[in-house]
Structure 1
Amino acid sequence: MPDLLRNITRATCSAYDANAEAYGEISEDYDQFPGLRQEVVDFAKRAPHGLPVLDLGCGGGRDTRLLAELGRRVVAGDHSHGMLTWARSRSGTAGFLRLDALALPLRERCLAGVWASGCLLHLPLALMGAALAEVHRVLVPGGIAVISMRDGEGEGWRSGGSLDGERWFTFVGPETFAGRMEDAGFSEIRIRFSGRSGWYVASGGR
């Protein structure tokens, strides 16, 4: 698994680094992602106030900027240096952090919420529980995580799609993912299918 994880991280980040500007541009418009803007708004309202929220896998920073506009203090985190550079160039209202979802460089119980839109699906299923445990660890009691995933079965390399290059994708059904969240310590887990074909949103609290 360590060798596979290194290969996944290297290849997936390289794809985003090489296409950061193009990906940032094409992912800007909420109209391309039905229901997504309202999901961000709902998360901003539900997460307890007074502490920052994390946009985990922030990509081009689209959701980071909306969260900031909604009055939330935001930490934007991504493993891709190229995506962080692009996101930082578009926003001066957030803190930016290069991070690994399996070892978040944050202290325990420091965040009101974690928003993770389409980023954990780049991890192998065998490590999904470890990433969810990290998300749970950094939440304050009463904090929430909202995570979007792709429905389906199987995992592996895929090329093309929204950008050039090879990336790892893990598809997992909502019941299975809810079980992983429960195992990681989350409570009041809710699953809702989004307006985007094949996508669902899982939320849970600490």
Structure 2
Amino acid sequence: MSDIRDITRETCGSYDANARTYTEASEDYEQFPGLHAEVVEFARLAPHHLPVLDLGCGGGRDSRLLASLGRTVIAGDYAPVMLDQARSRSTAGDRPPSFVRLNALALPIRPASVAGVWASGSLLHIPVALMEHALTEIHRVLIPGGVTAISMRTGEGEGWRNGGSMEGRRWFTFTDPDTFTKYLGKTGFSDTRIHYSGRPGWFVAIAVR
């Protein structure tokens, strides 16, 4: 396996190099069947008295939707140019998201301080050897009874891939729902439910701290 520093630097570098085109290409929920409903369901399930974290917010599409649903949102991403895209597209409203640069393996958030963590296609860039570490961080920042919803791609193996939805090289980790449910259980989560999305090859794991 490549060093995590190389994985983070190159994967996020690819997102930054394509930040505007990637953001514009992924803005329309109609291109991602079921995703809008998944965000709405997460907003409903997460307790309502504390913020929710959009972990790996990219261009901020889901952060803006969560804010429009009345949630207080922390929008976080490691790629700084992507984060700039999210910030620039945020409209002034009653609950605009707040933005923070963060690493999923060391979240700059106090323990038990958020009601929910939404991670749409972000943990698939975490290598298998560190997946439980990333889930432990999510568990740490959630309040008891808090909810996480994590979308992953089905399959086996991990490694570098070139191209796809944008130019550049990115690290991808594929997994199956049963294996990912075991990761969640090992890191303290319970009541895991698997939802097969309308997007071929994707599933969403919803679990409670």
Structure 2 length-normalised TM: 0.97
Provide the identity percentage: 64
Q: Does 1:135 align with 2:138?
A: yes
Equivalent of residue 151 in structure 1, options 146, 151, 154 = 154
Q: How do residues 106-117 of structure 1 correspond to structure 2 at under 5 angstroms? A: 106-117=109-120
- Displacement of 1:10 in angstroms is 0.8
Alignment-mate amino acid for residue 197 of structure 2: S
C-alpha distance in 2 between matches for 1:132 and 1:205: 12
> 1:60 offset after TM fit, Å?
0.4
Q: Which amino acid aligns with 1:156?
A: G
Query: 1:27 is matched with which residue?
Result: 26
The C-alpha deviation readout for 1:142-177, integer Å capped at 9, x for no partner, is 100000000000000001111110000000011000
Residue in 2 aligned with 1:14? 13
- Cα offset, 1:178, TM superposition: 0.3
Corresponding residue of 1:66: 65
Partners of 1:9 and 1:47 in 2: CA distance? 29
Separation in 2, partners of 1:52, 1:65: 13
Supply the AA of the counterpart residue of 1:52: P
Shift of 1:204: 0.5
Amino acid at match of 1:8: I
Q: Distance in 2 between the 1:64 and 1:9 partners? A: 22
- Is 1:95 aligned to residue 94 of structure 2? no
- Cα distance between partner residues in 2 of 1:133 and 1:6: 19
1:107-144 CA distances to partner (integer Å, 9 max, x unpaired)?
A: 10000000000000001011000000000010001100
| Residue aligning to 1:201 | 204
Aligned residue number for residue 52 of structure 2? 53
* Structure 1 portions without partners, runs of 5+: none
Distance 2:117 2:208 in 1: 10
Distance in 1, matches of 2:103 and 2:200, equals: 28
2:85 maps to a residue whose letter is: W
SS of the aligned residue for 2:86 comes to helix
Alignment partners' CA distance in 2, 1:137 and 1:120: 16
**1:169 aligned partner, one-letter code:** F
Structure 2 residue runs without a partner (length 5+): none
Partners of 1:57 and 1:194 in 2: how far apart?
19
One-letter amino acid of the structure 2 residue matched with residue 54 of structure 1: L
Q: Aligned partner of 1:203: which letter?
A: I
- Within 5 Å, which residues of 2 pair with 1:169-188? 169-188=172-191
Find the aligned partners of 2:39 and 2:101 in 1 and give their Cα distance: 22
Question: Which residue, out of 156, 164, 180, partners 1:161?
Answer: 164
Query: What's the Cα RMSD here?
Result: 0.8
For residues 166 and 82 of structure 2, the distance between their equivalents in structure 1, rounded to whole angstroms, comes to 13
